[in-house]
A and B are shown apart, each in its own frame.
Chain A
């Protein structure tokens, strides 16, 4: 899932200083699970802002809402109606960056501010601890590395690791960070496939990643009939 972390209240307040009617919107999916921007956090942020404004003698109306997913029209469209009906001046989204983008695109003239910092694609390895596990690079090579991603989990994203900086299973940049390549070696040893690491992985084609420009996925069977994406198109 997408893992996010709430921004400090003072930073959020800085965004909305000039508005008098705000809507704080949570997201019921990833942001809820990682305790950054679900219904509970909407309440926390809204109350915090109310107290903060009250202390300074500012009158600000703060509305609260939480939608199932901020990244799909069917959940965001009703929100648009609410914003217009209730004359909301600005929105703080506690969804991930996708949610902020999507709301901003949908709400046209109403400003949308980020209430969380979107961190990575990861998993909860223990209660309250999430670890990055995928970099979304667009061309999965996990079949070559025992199911553990060197791009996401090695500090240098090297494909023929480990580098010389692996120490007791940790990365040299921080003793709190596991060496992704130590994990790969350990895993492949258990699978009995360590010899596969003898293969030199060639330089990668990063054009499938963000380096190839903003990406788009079209599911032909579902997408509305429209201009076909030719391979030669930019």
Chain B
């Protein structure tokens, strides 16, 4: 068990990190994942593979990670607390590390009722687990890595050399509790943070100021979340229905103008909005990059990954740094995991 993750090395070297999201398919077609991986090669330092995102059954995160690793990409395995108890979580972590997975993002997971929120049926009648919460999950992984113990206290001989991540919703309600909750995640052992999508950069910057005053930006690497908006409807939906996401009216107006510029030509309207969405994403990346304490971006282009290479390029973040050959020996000692 050697080598630190590429993401960890990129951050440790002081680079502005880029992670992007790869959504696995709702079937067992490995080629879907492989094709996305091929398309996204070189675009990011690590690639999040989601774990039954929005409570919809998809090819598992652990398998998706392995598939993209075969293509030479480094995965961030996402792990929700919704579907697994502490036994399953720890066993999957050991398995993932044995397969060479090095990054894990610990999240609570969308409630199972979300699977039926859109056009899909999902499994709203499923029993959820939530044996542990995301902060406890972070602490369990840190215990496995740094103390060499399972949560129950049994020893782990070969420790999982993980780079541990957590999510953060900087503008979620109640907003005054969010920095404190980030602090808990950092204290639990979060080496890096990927935030909920940021559209309101001004308010995000205010939260980051609080975070800096608490010194948290030095103890964890905050990657600001960017969700690429595809059209006006998506922006409106996120503003209205996604907790912790608010879209400033000027962005909304820009997208509206892009749509209206096409008149009655629906195809053109789609294209206009897509282009404006990409423009907005590029600008958001540039803006969050200016916020002190932000050490990278986590970009989500949900079922629209093909636009990611262009976005990252236009944001001036290509090529990605090559930190290979800088292996840090035994990554199991727990030193300097914060990068």
Q: A interface vs B, CB < 8 Å? A: 155-169, 172-174, 179, 182, 185-186, 194, 197-198, 200-204, 206
Contact = CB atoms under 8 A, between A and B. Distances in A.
A157 B174 contact: no
B108 A158 contact: yes
Given A155-B111, A200-B184, A167 B243 contact: yes
Contact of A166 (B81, B131, B139, B172): B172
A200 B139 contact: yes
Given A198-B180, A198-B184, A206-B131, A165 B136 contact: no
A158 B151 CA distance: 17
A166 B244 CA distance: 8
A161 B132 CA distance: 12
- Please tell me the size bucket of the interface on B: 35 or more
B113 interface: yes
A164 B196 contact: yes
A173 B188 CA distance: 27
5 closest cross-chain pairs (CB), A and B: A164-B169, A158-B133, A160-B135, A167-B243, A165-B243
A219 B154 CA distance: 35
A161 B174 CA distance: 10
Contacts of B134: 158, 160, 163
Q: Which of A159, A200, A204, A206 has the most CB of B within 10 A?
A: A200
Given A164-B167, A185-B174, A203 B108 contact: no
B112 to A, nearest CB: 9
11 contacts: A156-B82, A158-B81, A161-B181, A162-B172, A162-B181, A164-B108, A164-B244, A173-B111, A182-B173, A182-B174, A200-B184
A172 B176 CA distance: 18
Contacts of A182: 173-174
Interface string B58-82: 0000000000000000000000011
A156 B111 contact: yes
B183 interface: yes
B128 interface: yes
Contact of B133 (A156, A166, A172, A197): A156
Contact of B188 (A163, A186, A200): A200
Contacts of A203: 86, 131-132, 136, 139-140, 151
B243 A173 contact: no
B244 A156 contact: no
Contacts of A202: 136, 139
A109 to B, nearest CB: 34
A160 B261 CA distance: 47
A201 to B, nearest CB: 8
B204 interface: no
Contacts of A204: 132
Contacts of B126: none
Interface string B122-145: 000000101111111001100000
B114 interface: yes
B180 A156 contact: no
A162 B177 contact: yes
A160 B136 contact: yes
Contacts of A166: 172-174, 243
Contacts of B188: 200
Contacts of B128: 156
A167 B136 contact: no
Nearest to B175: A166
B187 interface: yes
Contacts of A194: 177, 180
A58 to B, nearest CB: 35
Contacts of A169: 173-174
Contacts of B110: 165
